[in-house]
Amino acid sequence: MSVNVGKLSAEEKEKMYSAATTEMEYRVELFNKMVGSCYEKCIDKKFKDGDLNVGENSCVDRCTSKYWQTVGIVGQMLGAADQAAMQQGR
Q: Give residue-wise pLDDT tens across range 46-83.
A: 877 888 899 999 999 999 999 999 999 999 999 998 88
Residue 49 maps to a domain: yes
Segment 2-6 mean pLDDT: 69
Residue 46 maps to a domain: yes
Q: For residue 51, give its domain range.
A: 10-88
Q: How many domains does the chain have?
A: 1
Residue 23 maps to a domain: yes
Please give the Cα distance from 41 to 32 (Å, whole number): 14
What CATH number is associated with residue 55?
1.10.287.810
pLDDT digits (tens, 9 = 90+) for 28-46: 999 999 999 999 999 988 8
Contact call for residues 35 and 68 (beta carbons, < 8 A): no
Please give the Cα distance from 36 to 43 (Å, whole number): 10
pLDDT(27) > 80: yes
pTM: 0.69
**Burial bucket for residue 77 (CB in 10 Å: 0-12, 13-18, 19+):** exposed
Residue 28 maps to a domain: yes
The letter for the amino acid at 75 is G
